[in-house]
Amino acid sequence: MLSVLDFVPLLLQGLGVTILVTVLGALLTLVVAFTAGLSGLSKRWYLRWPSSIFVEFFRGSGLLVQMFWFFYALPFLGIQLAPILAGVLALGLNEGAYAAEIVRGTIRSRAKGQTEAAIALGMSPGLRMRRILIPQSIPAMLPAFGNVMVDLLKNTSLVSLVTVSDLTWRAFTARTVTGQTVTLFLTILVIYYLLSLLIGWLTRWLEKRYALDRKSLAKARPLKNLVGGISA
């Protein structure tokens, strides 16, 4: 009789797919977050309104429904997406909508005083966003982004419902053969937990690294030189 150990190679293949979907989804999430978040801060209505509509739509509709739409509904409109592409798009756009509010809210909370100082230095809106607001906001974004990435990892289990052979799909396959529900799903529970711990560790490492880099920069460049460099 087959045991769980006989399906370890199968589970490892599924783990590779889960990691791939997580990485691709995370990259899309970051792109969407900064694009929609910065557009939401714009004074131009043709940037701000589409950003607001996008964020509210993807936050207000379910991820599973979005994933089913990309994979099962779009073919009726003549658009056929590969299963993994449909899953990554749904994950990245959905999580990106939540992360966009992190970007928008964090930058806005730092904009008031910093904007006045930047205007006094004669900086353009684009320059003060690139040189001042975004660099100073990133450390505050990191813990929230870490939570988004953990949430994205957990939601990758939904791609099994659009026929992606990820870790969860492989566990269901092994279960139908072995009948060992508890052992199999306890195994993938531990795997997801360890991956979540890894994301949390990476987030804290980035926080410490960013803080050390800023301290080194502050020691290396006197304040008057820093101001002069910014205004340049």
Domain of residue 72: give its range: 4-231
Residue 24: burial class (beta carbons within 10 Å; 0-12, 13-18, 19+): middle
- Contact (Cβ atoms closer than 8 angstroms) between residue 39 and residue 52: no
Cβ-contact 93, 66 below 8 angstroms: yes
CA triple 8-9-15, angle to 5 deg: 85
CATH of the domain at 29: 1.10.3720.10
Q: How many CB atoms lie within 10 A of CB 110?
A: 15
Residues recorded for the chain: 232
| Single-letter code of the amino acid located at 23 | V
Q: How many domains does the chain have?
A: 1
Per-residue tens of pLDDT for the chain, all 232 residues: 566 677 788 899 999 999 999 999 999 999 999 999 999 998 899 999 999 999 999 999 999 999 999 999 999 999 999 999 999 999 999 999 999 999 999 988 876 666 666 777 777 777 878 777 888 888 889 999 999 999 999 999 999 999 999 999 999 998 888 888 898 999 999 999 999 999 999 999 998 888 766 666 555 444 444 444 444 4
The whole-model pTM stands at 0.86
